Amino acid sequence: MKCYDFDLFVIGAGSGGVRAARMASERGMRVAVAEVSRLGGTCVNVGCIPKKLFAYAAQFAEAFQQARGYGWRLAEVAFNWSTLRDNTDAEIERLTSVYRALLVNSGCQLIEGRATITGAHMVSVGARNWSAERIVIATGGWPFVPDVPGREHAITSNDIFSLEHFPKRAVIVGGGYIALELAGIAAGLGTRTRLVYRGELFLRGFDEDIRRITAEEMSKRGVLLNFGCGICAIEKQADGCLLVTFSDGSRELTDCVLYATGRLPNVAGLGLENTSVRQQANGAIVVNEHLQTHEPSIYAIGDVIDRTQLTPVALSEGMQLVRHLLGEEGPRVDYELIPSAVFSQPAIATVGLTEAQARLRYCDVVVYKSSFRALKQTLAGGNERTFMKLLVDHASDRVVGAHMVGSDAAEIIQGIAIALRAGATKRVFDTTLGVHPTSAEEFVTLRKPSNEPFITTDP
């Protein structure tokens, strides 16, 4: 029997890596965790947490304006960027210290530095080599910026939370949830914001109605939307601003170009060439149902395997992996019915199938929709529309998809996700009493199927 320095060596101290390391250590395994940056990974440092805090900040300008309709008279309102930035950074530092304490208190050895896999059971960090019976790769993802002339002048979502000055003008490139969230944040903080996306409509893969209504609502909030368009070049001017040339030939001066064009698996310099680990074309690590790579001693979890890039998924994969390594019984991660949210302005939340997916899977799909102005908007004089949609398999009466655009969408869909996981039928929704007056009650009062034809713009 070989003797190793560790039973488990985890590379990456993000959500999934920390969860796997803690669980393994608490169950008696000798565990090491290597991290080159701040603990907590993308979510804590440049993802979920700062984005949500910034999204809160972006909502205040509208809230101050709406307050007048409720009788409030406010003195001069001014936004201080450095206060938001520094307070957010302080919260991130607090969270990273919590992560550190959780790891150390669980018995893990924390190794700070860049880890490189040098063999099936060997990892080097700096000048030190470590042996491990098993290795877990949990290195997450890294922003992708296309090869455009002047790309060195652009920033990514990793950079926006620590800018010295927040831009007065910004061009954001991308059509995924990160692009939408950052566009909403920028516009809410007073930036003249243009969102550029090469496709016909952003949020590809989301329900078609959600995509269309979100575009309408974002336009109402002043975000300039350019679809079917890209950037050809970025040129820095003498005064520090950027001259952007678009694919349609137009040009625009801006203070900031931010690429939110996806995140690729973070595998550069990891040493995978020293192993039998296989990768997909985009670098994602290939794993089996046990999250094991083609190198039997090496496993991978989280964004680096590019299945579903969500923090709760990485956490679940970490727990599944440890149970498997210890021979414990337990459920595998179920990638169906995963609820998700886009903290855009307005917010989006969804669980289950889109209408297009439902029609491919079921012979007869009944669609229920509702669009209305929420009660809060009435005195405030706002024109924001809340949209809700349920998809039902007619044969079984089971609800197979729920989608929402509007305030508190994520909070509402989280509860509905439980119902869908439990196999709730439309009859269950219909016989559930609503909480009145709320927007959420609309989900249990939808009675009339939509007769609108389904049209898709997906290629």
Give the H/E segment covering residue 445.
none
Structure token digits, residue 62: 């509208």
The arithmetic mean of pLDDT across residues 26-53, rounded, is 96
Q: Which residues contact 384 (CB under 8 A, 6 or more apart)?
A: 217, 220, 346, 373, 374, 377, 406, 407
> In this structure, is the dihedral angle defined by the CA atoms of residues 107, 113, 114 and 117, taken in order, positive or negative?
negative
Decide which of 3.50.50.60, 3.40.50.300, 3.40.50.620, 3.30.70.20 is the CATH code for 151-261: 3.50.50.60
Amino acid letter for position 336: E
Q: Is the pLDDT of residue 225 over 80?
A: yes
Pairwise CA distance, residues 70 & 438, whole Å: 18
CA gap 242, 255 in Å, rounded: 6
For 400, the token pair is: 């197979």
Q: In residues, how long is the chain?
A: 459
Distance CA 261, CA 172 (A): 9
Picking from 249, 233, 270, the residue whose alpha carbon sits closest to that of residue 137 is 270
Tokens of 97: 């210290």
Amino acid in the structure at residue 194: R
What one-character-per-residue DSSP string does 226-289 give?
EES--EEEEEE-TTS-EEEEETTS-EEEESEEEE-S-EEE--TTS-GGGS---B-TTSPBP--T
Give, rounded to a whole angstrom, the gap between the first and last alpha carbons of the chain: 56
Hey, what amino acid is at 205? G
- The whole-angstrom separation of Cα 82 and Cα 378 is 34
Confidence of residue 1 (pLDDT cuts 50, 70, 90): low
User: How sure is the predictor about 382, in pLDDT bands with cuts at 50, 70 and 90?
Assistant: confident
Confidence of residue 322 (pLDDT cuts 50, 70, 90): very high
Please tell me the predicted confidence (pLDDT) of residue 451: 66
pLDDT at 113 over 50: yes
Is residue 87 scored above 60 in pLDDT?
Answer: yes
Residue 454 — pLDDT band, cuts 50, 70, 90? Answer: very low
Three-class DSSP category at 109: strand
Average pLDDT score over the chain: 95
Compute the distance between CA of residue 251 and CA of residue 246 in angstroms, rounded to an integer: 6
CATH no., domain 6-141+264-325: 3.50.50.60
Interacting residues of 270 by C-beta distance below 8 A, sequence separation 6+: 11, 115, 116, 117, 137, 139
Residue 430 sits at the vertex; the CA angle it makes with 429 and 436, to the nearest 5 degrees, is 85
Compute CA distances 359 → 356, 400, 424, whole Å: 5, 11, 19
In tens, the pLDDT along 156-198 reads: 999 999 999 999 999 999 999 999 999 999 999 999 999 999 9
Between the alpha carbon of residue 153 and those of residues 159, 202, 259, 370, 394, the distances in Å are 12, 24, 11, 44, 53
pLDDT of residue 457: 41
The Cα 421–Cα 419 span in angstroms is 5
Work out the average pLDDT over 347-359.
98
For 33-47, 419-433, 444-458, which range has the lowest pLDDT when averaged over its residues? Answer: 444-458
Domain parsing of the chain, residue ranges: 6-141+264-325, 151-261, 346-444
Here the tokens at position 160 are 């926006």
Residues forming a β-bridge with 449: 368
- Residue 255 contacts residue 242 (beta carbons within 8 Å): yes
Out of 290, 394, 403, 436, the active site residue is 436
Cα torsion through 117, 123, 126, 129, rounded to 10: -140
Q: What percent of the chain has pLDDT over 90?
A: 95
CA-CA-CA-CA torsion sign (311, 316, 317, 321): positive
Q: Which residues pair with 442 in a beta bridge?
A: none
Given phi > 0 = left and psi -120 to 50 = alpha, else beta, which region is 40? Answer: left
Average pLDDT, stretch 2-19?
A: 95
CATH class of 346-444: alpha beta
Averaged over 271-291, what is the pLDDT? 98
Residue type, 2: K
Same fold, 6-141+264-325 and 151-261: yes
pLDDT tens per residue, range 413-437: 999 999 999 999 999 999 999 999 9
Is 436 one of the annotated active-site residues of the chain? yes
**Which among 346, 349, 360 has a CA at the least distance from the CA of 389?**
349
456 pLDDT above the threshold of 70: no
Per-residue pLDDT tens over the stretch 237-268: 999 999 999 999 999 999 999 999 999 999 99
Q: How many CB atoms lie within 10 A of CB 78?
A: 5
Decide: helix, strand or coil at residue 433: coil
